[in-house]
């Protein structure tokens, strides 16, 4: 895709009146204010041996694996919850929130509600691993189990929303969530400025699932760095709805026969009507990587970076280290300094290590 056309739709700081997208940069800035002191300002790490693996590039990792609840999702959830609580008139009744998720968003919303003295109900498919249920319960949320179909989850969530007058918080489509996720690169850009003798980022790699993280940070990066930064989204080839949508120029879902059998279990959801237009217009590229490369990159991060990332976070690193497409389109000489968002660290290390072994990754 011709990247030049991206420049014509660069977000200006205050085009709220434009209304072209569900959020603008001022929403991200507001989110930053709401999450301050609640979400962690996660570290930016560098690793010489990973730079070597990446062909001599200088990688700056934004380690959202170290975020509260173990993923960036906490930011969006807190922003959503705190957007409501500040409007709350009656402080006697506990505000209710509801969502359907078995993943990182479930934990994030549970804790976000707890820290704001609210209550969250999480609708989960009945095949959710016990450890994920336990994590959500630990954060004080109520779990309601349903059949593991999209319809069952959505129906139950709607039912609870009506019954308890709860606010429904979608894991990726909620504008407050998207704005919250956009604070990741707001911090990253600031932190890179603070590093001695480090030039600004020439590219940022962001994994894409439902698109909340990608969309929020497209808005942020265009506002802060304009067309001087390449935004490259990273996706597993087995879950390539965003890639196909980007190629086709229209929103496409997973193929009906796609078994969604990827180790990157956080990226199984698809883009939606809020996240797609932002990505379509503001991202430069979407690049896919296969399962083996994702796990190789994940192992590398464990052993070299010493950070416990989940495979969904390995997707971005895999693009940088192993993608020929990336290397050709973004040569090291022209894109020496890149940011990689390590989105989360909620992983069963033992199980994933077995998968790595089975794939012959040593």
* Residues tagged active-site: 73, 102
Q: Kindly tell me which residue out of 68, 73, 132, 170 binds other proteins, with binding defined by CB under 8 A.
A: 68
Q: How many residues bind other proteins (CB under 8 A)?
A: 26
Per CB under 8 A, 10 contacts other proteins: no
Strand partners, 82: none
Comparing CB distances to other proteins, the nearer of 49 and 247 is 49
Report, in Å, the least distance between residue 124 CB and other proteins.
20
Q: Is 302 in the site for other proteins (CB under 8 A)?
A: yes
For tokens 């217009």, name the residue: 281
Query: Binding to other proteins by residue 37, rule CB under 8 A?
Result: no
Answer yes or no whether residue 306 interacts with other proteins by CB under 8 A. yes
- Smallest distance from other proteins to CB 14, Å: 31
Residue owning tokens 């990182």:
104
Minimum gap (Å) between residue 66 Cβ and other proteins:
5
38, 115 in Cβ contact below 8 A?
yes
Q: Which of 152, 174, 159, 180 is nearest to 64 (CA)?
A: 180
How many angstroms separate the CA atoms of 60 and 189, rounded?
10
Question: 76, 180 in Cβ contact below 8 A?
Answer: yes
Q: Three-class SS of residue 99?
A: strand
234: helix, coil or strand? strand
- Regarding 343 and contact with other proteins (CB under 8 A), the answer is no
349 touching other proteins, by CB under 8 A: yes
57-74 in b/e burial notation, b at 16+ Cβ within 10 A? Answer: bbbbbbbbbbbbbbbbbb
Note whether 345 binds other proteins by CB under 8 A.
yes
Residue 350 binds to other proteins (criterion: CB under 8 A): yes
Minimum CB distance to other proteins smaller for 237 or for 337: 337
**Contacting other proteins (CB under 8 A), which of 53, 59, 70, 99?**
70
- C-alpha–C-alpha distance, residues 322 and 184, integer Å: 24
Give the range of 29-37, 147-155, 213-221, 300-308 binding other proteins by CB under 8 A: 300-308
Alpha carbon distance 173, 280 (integer Å): 15
Q: Give contact residues for other proteins (rule: CB under 8 A).
A: 43, 45-46, 48-49, 63, 65-66, 68, 70, 196-197, 299, 302-309, 345, 349-350, 353, 356
């Amino acid at each position: 895709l011709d990247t030049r056309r991206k420049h014509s739709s660069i977000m200006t700081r205050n085009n709220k009146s434009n209304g072209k997208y569900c959020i603008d940069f001022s929403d991200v800035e507001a989110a930053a204010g709401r999450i301050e002191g609640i979400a962690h300002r996660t570290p930016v790490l560098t690793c010489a041996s990973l730079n070597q693996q990446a062909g001599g590039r200088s990688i700056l990792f934004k380690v959202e694996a170290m975020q509260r609840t173990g993923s960036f999702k906490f930011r969006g959830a807190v922003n959503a919850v705190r957007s409501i609580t500040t409007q709350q008139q009656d402080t006697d009744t506990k505000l209710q929130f509801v969502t359907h998720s078995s993943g990182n968003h479930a934990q994030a919303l549970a804790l976000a509600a707890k820290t704001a003295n609210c209550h969250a109900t999480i609708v989960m498919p009945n095949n959710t691993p016990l450890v994920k249920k336990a994590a959500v319960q630990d954060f004080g949320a109520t779990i309601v189990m349903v059949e593991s179909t999209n319809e069952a989850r959505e129906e139950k969530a709607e039912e609870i929303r009506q019954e308890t007058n709860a606010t429904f918080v979608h894991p990726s489509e909620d504008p407050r969530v998207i704005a919250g996720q956009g604070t990741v690169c707001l911090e990253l850009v600031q932190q890179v400025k603070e590093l001695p003798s480090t030039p600004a980022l020439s590219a940022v790699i962001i994994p894409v699932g439902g698109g909340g993280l990608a969309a929020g940070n497209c808005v942020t990066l265009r506002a802060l760095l304009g067309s001087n930064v390449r935004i490259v989204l990273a996706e597993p080839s087995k879950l390539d709805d965003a890639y196909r949508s980007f190629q086709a120029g229209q929103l496409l879902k997973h193929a009906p026969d796609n078994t969604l059998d990827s180790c990157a279990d956080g990226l199984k959801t698809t883009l939606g009507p809020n996240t797609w237009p932002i990505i379509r217009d503001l991202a430069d590229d979407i690049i896919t990587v296969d399962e083996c490369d994702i796990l190789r990159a994940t192992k590398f991060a464990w052993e070299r970076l010493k950070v416990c990332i989940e495979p969904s976070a390995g997707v971005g690193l895999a693009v940088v280290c192993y993608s020929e497409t990336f290397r050709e389109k973004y040569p090291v000489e022209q894109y020496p300094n890149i940011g990689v968002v390590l989105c989360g660290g909620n992983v069963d290390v033992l199980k994933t290590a077995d998968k790595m072994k089975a794939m012959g990754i040593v």
